Structures are given as structure tokens and as C-alpha cells.
Amino acid sequence: MKKNGFSRPFDKYQILTWILFTILASSFYFVYIPLTPSQLFPIISIPYTLSSCLVCYFTFRVCSCNPADPSLLSDTKTLTKSSKTCTVCKSDVFLSSKHCGSCDKCISGFDHHCRALNTCIGFKNYLNFFRLLKCVEIWLLLQLVTELYCLTKISELFQAKCGLLIFLLIEGILILVLLLANGGLLIFHCWLKKNSISTYDFVVKKYYRSVAPSMGDGKKSEERYIIKSSNTPIGHPYSVSQDQLTNL
């Protein structure tokens, strides 16, 4: 059973995330800053450093949290009438919990398993995960703005340091891709929150709709399949029942 995001083995996407963060942060301080005028140094470096610290802080908060169902963390039974028995681990857990094969445990208010953080996102760490997405977006935006400022000196760089110019162009494309990808994920989770569903619910419903034509009459087939397979919709992590809040 994996305790949290710092438990081994580390996921390859988690390691890749660490490498990308190190490369981009190093580029900012050792490449971008020397190319900027000294009077702009506080304006550029202070917000970037603050956002970098927040990214590290919320990453630690998300990864260090154990999002397991409360009944798995104590010997005393904390269940209410809203409970079920997990078909995988045979544990008595809350209805909003789901078993994660990667973490090998039931997660309270399960949303999804994040390979970049090597942990599941559930009720206990979803808020910090959402904050992390916002901080990463700000961090990448500051990185891109500084990158574009450096590229405004393109003629000077081309004459003096052609290799540096190529590096800036390649890294700029990488930052833009990451910015758009993280922004899309942030918008997606805003949409999930607005519609009060989890990522897991969204994926399952999408699958049901894709197989509905072969099952008969669309939405009714979807509802019958949910009842038959006992797949209780989890709901958004913010929507965990008050009975569970007192036990987390």
C-alpha cells in the first residue's frame, strides 16, 4: 500500500516533472536574469521566486498527504450508514471512496490518480491540488513573459550567442506547451467543480455514453448499467458528505 506521493517507487512522470522544474528554474536565474537590466531585477525575480516557492509548497502538501479512506487509517470504525464494502480490498469504506490500483487502497472522495505527483487526488488533498494548478499557471506565465523579453534582444543574441538564441526558442516552445496544457487542466477542474462531478465520474460517464448505442436506449441504458454494476457516482471532492467531514 502506497502511503503518499513520496513513497517509492517514484513514477517516471513524477521524475520528469522534477527535471523540468529544475531546468526551467535554473534557466530563469542563470540565463534570463543576466540578460535583463538591473533595474528590472526586483520586478522580475521577486514574483517568480514567490510563485516557485508556492509551487514547491503545494506540491509538498499534496504529495505528503495520505488521501486514504479514514477507516483504513484507524482501528476504530468511523463508518456511518452511508458506507459500502470495497470489492477489491474488502474494506468497509465510505460511498465516496474508490479503490486505486496504483496506490492499492481506497481513496476518500476519489477524483483521479496523478502520475506527475505519484499520488491520488481525493477529498483530503484536492484543494491543495487545485491551488497547485493555479500557482503552476502563474509560474509558467512569468517564465514565458521573461523569456519573450529576452527574445526581444534577438538581433544582439544572434550576433553574439547563436546557441543561446536556439536554446531560448526551444525552451520558449516548451513553456508555451506546458502553459496551455496546465491551463486546460485548470479550466477542466473549474468545470468539474461547477458541475459537481469528479474526474472519475466524468471518465466513467463518457465511457457509458460511448457504449450506450450497443446497449440500447442511451441514458436509460447508462442508468441501468450503473445500478447493475453498483458504481455509485462519487461526486466532486468538495461535495463529500458532512458525515465524512467529521471523520477526516
114 catalytic per annotation: yes
Q: Which residue type is seen at 231?
A: N
Q: What is the DSSP letter of 100?
A: E
Distance CA 38, CA 41 (A): 5
How far are the Cα atoms of 54, 84, 190 from residue 33, in angstroms, in the given order? 20, 56, 34
Torsions phi, psi of 42, nearest 5? -65, -40
Cell 496523478, residue located: 114
Q: Which residue has the cell 534582444?
A: 153
**Of 194, 235, 189, 175, residue with least CA distance to 25:** 175
State the catalytic residue, choosing from 114, 120, 135, 150: 114
Task: Round the CA-based radius of gyration of the chain to a whole number and report it.
Answer: 22
**Reduced to 3 states, what is the DSSP secondary structure of residue 84?**
strand
Identify the CA nearest to 48 among candidates 131, 182, 179, 139: 139
Spatial distance between the Cα atoms of 72 and 88, rounded to a whole number of angstroms: 14
- The answer to whether residues 176 and 145 touch, using CB atoms and an 8 Å cutoff, is no
- The one-letter amino acid code at 175 reads I
Which residues belong to the active site? 114
